[in-house]
Structure formats: structure tokens, C-alpha cells
Amino acid sequence: MRFFLPIFLLTILWSCSPSTKNKTDADLVEKIRKDENFAFVKEKALAIVGTGFNAGDGYREVWIRDFNTFIELSAEVFPKEELKENLLVFFRMQGDDGNIIDGFTPAEKIGEGETDFSYSALEPRYAGHKNTVETDQESSLIQAVYKYIRITGDSSILTEMVGSKSVAHRMEWAMEFLMNHRWNEQYGLIIGATTADWGDVQPEHGWGVDLDDNTHPAIDIYDNAMYIIALDNLIEMMPNAGKRWKSVRDQVAENARKHLWDEENQKFIPHIYLEKGSPFPDDFNENEIYYFGGTAVAIEAGLLSKDEIKASLDEMVRRVELAGAPSIGLTLYPPYPDGFFANKIMNPEYSYQNGGDWTWFGGRMIQQLIKAGYVHEAYEQIQPMVQRVKDNNGFFEWYSINNEPRGSGTFRGSAGVLYKAIEMFEEWSEENR
């Protein structure tokens, strides 16, 4: 009895054959090698990062959440001693409870009447600032130290004494701060204020960066994914401390999946609200919102399978199309309705962290797609990000729904994540030539 496969099955089998895959990989290798925007972005990134360590031309501070995303790029143009010194400043300004500041700025630049700063006898040159609604500063510093050691090979930073404590001791102290002051026992996860995904603005009042009596504490995926990555880094840097922190890491990862991953909808829920409930109206269904940045960081933390990564990408692309947004750097979709945040920068919809487009996080998703083997998809999704660097001759902080540049025009975090993504493409192309 003769057996014939239907034409459509033959087509599928042919399209999946090794020879076809090799051809499509070869085509992509050639595109990467000849991509003029990649060359432009890399050159521009090196030029911008070589001018300093503050987040961008709209900021005077060196922020740890930003420095963590461009320290690898900084290593291309600065001696390791300068990178190390920046990291040590954060440890010298560590709080008495182990917390890490957001950023530091020269003390002489603090104007009269500016009071939201901290000072340390170990580092009199600088004033520190902390947006306490965030819970990522401690994790960002651990990740930055890990990258520093990996890039430079200089593990001596771990034994550097800062006051009476070594850097290694202080890193564990920072992780303990989260366990002691940002831990929810019921869910086994760390907490922060209610913010829009990875953002640092709470909805309750006009400025919105400090915890206070108005704050609605909540649990989200971004903070916990950053903590998992930091613990992974800590365990690798300090194997002797690994046994203690490995159990914490595994507990947080298990609970993040259990409580924050919406299996039915294949997405992370925005928040788990605690004793004060939600700051938003009772009839508002927040779970309709998709958090792009937190999802990308969760993938970096190893919380999603390869199939779930692809499902996440598909959902991001779908929602970008619904929004009419320029790229998967979109912070979230749909945005919070106008008026839900007292800080006007979060209103109207598609503004700033409320639906603005941030390469700073979109670039991280590109990196994770490459790591997961979705290189063709990653190449397609990075194109609008590199094109607008060329079109605007710089790395802007964020972009409007119409792809118009907003914020700082020398945003080093965006330069850092794009540069790394392009390097990953180039490494893949070399391996697949």
C-alpha cells in the first residue's frame, strides 16, 4: 500500500529541515554582519558612555539601577579602578540597616532646601538618595559587582574593607535588609510600593517616590525577579555563602511562579495587594495589564520555560500592535487610565512609565530572546530600537506612542543594553558562519 503525505505536511517538513534552517541562519548571519545600524549604535554607545557615569543628561546622580545596565559597556572605555570606585561608593553609603541607596551626587551640588538626601562618614564627598518605593537597589548592586568581576577578573573587590566590614559581608547585609524589611511571610516574596511594573512612582501623591502612610504595599514580579538574579550572582561569587542563600533563592523562585504567574493567561499578574488593598477603584481589573519589563527580567531570572518565553514574546508583539507602539520596549499595555496616578508625568496614558516605550527594558528582552534561541525573532524586534538611535542620533530615555524621543538624550542604560544585545548577535553570527 503506497502512502502519500499531504502537500501541506510536506511543506512543513521541508521548512523545518536542517538544510532550510541552515539557509535561514546563514541569511541572518549575513544580515547581522552587514547591519549598518548595529555599527552606528555601537560607536555611538561607546562615545556616550565614555562621558561619565550619571544616568543621562537629565540626571546628576550615578544611579545603581542604571549603572548595573551599562557597567559592562563602561568597562570598554574606563579603567577597572574607576568602575570599582563607583561600586565602593555605594557600599560606603550603605544604611545602618543594610539598605543600599539609589544613587549618589557630589555633596556640593545639593542646593539649599534639598533635604531628601543621606550622608555617610565613610563617604563625605557625596550625598545619597533613595526612592524607597523601589525594591531593586540592593539587587542591582549585587548584579553590578558580579558583572564587574566577570568582566575584569578582579575578585579582590570582595575582600575590600569598607569601614569594619568587607564588601562580601556588606553584600550579604544588603540581601538581609530585604529579608528583614521587605519580606512578606505569607507569600514568601519581597514587597515594595504599588508602582507601574518596574517604575519608581507610586500613585498616591504628586511626587510619589517615598514610602509613607499613603503607600499601598504590594508584591510584583520585577522586584522578586531582580532578587533571584542577585542571589544567583551572590552564590556564584561567594560559594561558601551559597548553602544559606540557595534555599532563599529557590523559595522565592517557587513562590513567584505559584503566586504571580497566571497560567491560564500566560502572563504575570501586576500585583498582589496586602493589608491596605489596591489604590485603584474597586471596579478596575488590573490583571488586564501586561507588564513588559517585569516579564523580561523574570525570563532573565529563569522563571519561564522556552515555550513560555515564546508565548510571552507573541503576547508582547500582539499588544504592541494593539497600542500602535514602536517596539517591545513598551512598558505596559493597556496603560493605567488617566488620573490613576497623582504624579502628572504618569498621565495621560502612554506617558513615561505608564505606557512609554523604553529601550532600557526592551533591550533586555532582546538579550533573553537570543539566549533562549529565538535569534531570528530577536533580530526582527530590535530593528525599531536601533533605527531610532540612528534617526535621533542618540539614546533617549523613552519614546512616545508615536516614537517621539522623550527625556534624557544620553541615556546610558539604553546604550548599555543595546550594545550588549548587538554583541550577542555578533557572537551568534560568528558561531553560525
Of 360, 299, 359, 349, the C-alpha closest to 324 is 349
Interatomic CA distance for residues 242 and 410, integer angstroms: 38
Of 266, 277, 272, 292, the C-alpha closest to 362 is 292
Of 298, 353, 300, 347, the C-alpha closest to 331 is 353
- What mean pLDDT is predicted for residues 157-163? 98
Assess whether pLDDT exceeds 80 at residue 19.
Answer: no
Assess whether pLDDT exceeds 80 at residue 23.
Answer: no
DSSP 144-189: HHHHHHHHH--GGGGG-EETTEEHHHHHHHHHHHHHHHSEETTTTE
Residue 5 lies in a domain: no
The pLDDT score that the predictor gives to residue 243 is 86
The pLDDT score that the predictor gives to residue 26 is 95
The pLDDT score that the predictor gives to residue 11 is 44
The pLDDT score that the predictor gives to residue 78 is 98
Residue 27 lies in a domain: no
Q: For the domain that residue 70 is a member of, what is the CATH number?
A: 1.50.10.10
Task: Please name the residue that has the C-alpha cell 540597616.
Answer: 97
Total tally of structural domains belonging to the chain = 1
- What mean pLDDT is predicted for residues 135-155? 98
Interatomic CA distance for residues 63 and 145, integer angstroms: 14
Assess whether pLDDT exceeds 80 at residue 181.
Answer: yes
Residue 21 lies in a domain: no
Q: pLDDT digits over 281-335, tens only? A: 999 999 999 999 999 999 999 999 999 999 999 999 999 999 999 999 999 999 9
Helix (H, G, I), strand (E, B) or coil at 333: strand
- Quote the pTM value: 0.94
Assess whether pLDDT exceeds 90 at residue 432.
Answer: yes
Interatomic CA distance for residues 87 and 151, integer angstroms: 14
- What mean pLDDT is predicted for residues 221-230? 98
Assess whether pLDDT exceeds 70 at residue 2.
Answer: no
The pLDDT score that the predictor gives to residue 1 is 41
The angle formed by the CA atoms of residues 16, 20 and 23, to the nearest 5 degrees, is: 145
Residue 366 lies in a domain: yes
CB crowding 185-203: b at 16 or more within 10 Å, else e: eebbbbbbbbbbbbbbbbb
Assess whether pLDDT exceeds 60 at residue 125.
Answer: yes
C-beta neighbour count of 7 within 10 angstroms: 8
Residue 158 lies in a domain: yes
Q: How confident is the model at residue 265 (pLDDT cuts 50, 70, 90)?
A: very high
Interatomic CA distance for residues 161 and 169, integer angstroms: 9
Assess whether pLDDT exceeds 50 at residue 10.
Answer: no
The DSSP symbol for 19 reads H
SS (H, E, C) 287-325: HHCEEHHHHHHHHHCCCCCHHHHHHHHHHHHHHHHHHCC
Residue 49 contacts residue 391 (beta carbons within 8 Å): no
Residue 214 lies in a domain: yes
Assess whether pLDDT exceeds 90 at residue 14.
Answer: no
Residue 61 lies in a domain: yes
pLDDT over 70, % of the chain: 95
Interatomic CA distance for residues 56 and 116, integer angstroms: 21
CB crowding 130-144: b at 16 or more within 10 Å, else e: bbbbbbbbbbbbbbb
Q: pLDDT digits over 334-368, tens only? A: 999 999 999 999 999 999 999 999 999 999 999 99
Residue 28 lies in a domain: no
Residue 148 contacts residue 72 (beta carbons within 8 Å): no
Interatomic CA distance for residues 284 and 211, integer angstroms: 23
- Report in angstroms the alpha-carbon separations of 311 from 269, 290, 304: 15, 13, 10
Q: Is the dihedral of CA 414, 416, 417, 419 positive or negative?
A: positive
Assess whether pLDDT exceeds 50 at residue 5.
Answer: no
- 213: containing domain: 35-431
Interatomic CA distance for residues 229 and 296, integer angstroms: 12
Mean residue pLDDT across the chain: 94
